[in-house]
């Protein structure tokens, strides 16, 4: 066979020669990357703003925690009672009087000593008796005032 310059080049099975097919793939990939960049840019900007806001909130939370710890350190620790003393000091009437004196609801009082409001109601009605851990917590808050009780409830609600 003699090479004829007039004769056209034979097409590949896909209908394109290899150089054009590779170039087409490269162009499609480049255009797709460019379009993706346009779509993703606003999302990246929002992500940066969200990360900034999260960092600010973490700093604010840390400052708040440090200040509450500083307040807790300044206040004198309540007197420690033994379990026997705490058991002897407990009565339903005394619990009602304490909660009333502090001006707390059963739910707030429960937050103060880490008990459920239902437990507080049961103890006050005489249908139940607190466990040793709760007796010690009750004894430890017996001598606090309304203002300190409110502060402790606020801290418990935030934490």
The pLDDT, as a whole number, for residue 7 is 60
Mean pLDDT (whole number) for 15-31: 81
Q: Please, which pLDDT band fits residue 67 given cuts at 50, 70 and 90?
A: confident
Q: What angle, 0 to 180 degrees and rounded to 10, lies between the N-to-C axes of helices 106-113 and 117-125?
A: 110
Q: Please, which pLDDT band fits residue 44 given cuts at 50, 70 and 90?
A: very high
The answer on pLDDT for 88 being more than 70 is no
Has this prediction a pTM greater than 0.95?
no
């Amino acid at each position: 066979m003699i090479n004829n310059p007039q004769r056209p080049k034979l097409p590949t099975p896909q209908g394109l020669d290899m150089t054009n097919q590779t170039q087409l793939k490269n162009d499609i990939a480049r255009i797709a990357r460019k379009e993706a960049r346009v779509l993703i840019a606003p999302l990246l900007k929002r992500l940066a703003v969200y990360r900034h806001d999260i960092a600010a909130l973490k700093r604010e939370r840390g400052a708040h925690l440090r200040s509450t710890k500083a307040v807790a350190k300044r206040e004198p620790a309540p007197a420690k009672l033994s379990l026997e003393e705490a058991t002897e000091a407990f009565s339903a009437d005394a619990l009602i009087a304490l909660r009333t004196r502090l001006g707390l609801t059963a739910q707030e009082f429960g937050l103060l000593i880490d008990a459920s409001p239902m437990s507080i109601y049961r103890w006050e009605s005489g249908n139940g008796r607190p466990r040793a851990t709760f007796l010690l917590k009750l004894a430890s808050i017996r001598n606090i005032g309304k203002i300190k009780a409110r502060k402790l409830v606020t801290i418990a609600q935030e934490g």
